[in-house]
Amino acid sequence: MIVVGSDHAGFRYKEMIKKHLGDVIDAGTFSEESCDYPAVAREVAQKIVSGKAQRGILVCGTGQGMAMAANKVKGIRAAVCGDTFSAKASRAHNNANILCLGARVVGEGLALEIVDAWLKAEFEAGRHTRRVEMIDD
């Protein structure tokens, strides 16, 4: 299961991603009214560490604030990606469990390509496992 969340700046992209993916958990926000992104990032992160979702997608203006907030939760590896190569590598090498997108940085079509690339990519393990364990420690 995928959990999605956004702040007001990313709301439209979150709705677009929900439509694109279908069955997801929506952790908010639920309008373009100003809200505090750290609360949404925490909600998405908690759903992952609790096992209610396997991966998450967060959207704000740049993706940076969401990543910073989500990465405060132990067990979360949130990556800001603005291209498909970074999206694939964040999964393959870093086992990222949250994708962060910037609605003011990435166009709609590219955003969906990034989402698809990230969701299709798998963790390669091997030499990367030790490094991911170091991040988690």
Full domain range(s) for residue 92: 2-136
Determine whether 8 is an active site residue.
Answer: no
Domain CATH for 9: 3.40.1400.10
Catalytic residue among 35, 81, 93, 100: 93
Tokens of 31: 């309008």
Catalytic residue among 60, 81, 100, 128: 60
Question: Does residue 53 contact residue 26 with C-beta atoms inside 8 Å?
Answer: no
How much is the pLDDT for 69? 98
pLDDT in tens, the chain (137 residues): 999 999 999 999 999 999 999 999 999 999 999 999 999 999 999 999 999 999 999 999 999 999 999 999 999 999 999 999 999 999 999 999 999 999 999 999 999 999 999 999 999 777 888 887 888 88
pTM of the model: 0.95
How much is the pLDDT for 130? 81
Split into its structural domains, the chain has a count of 1
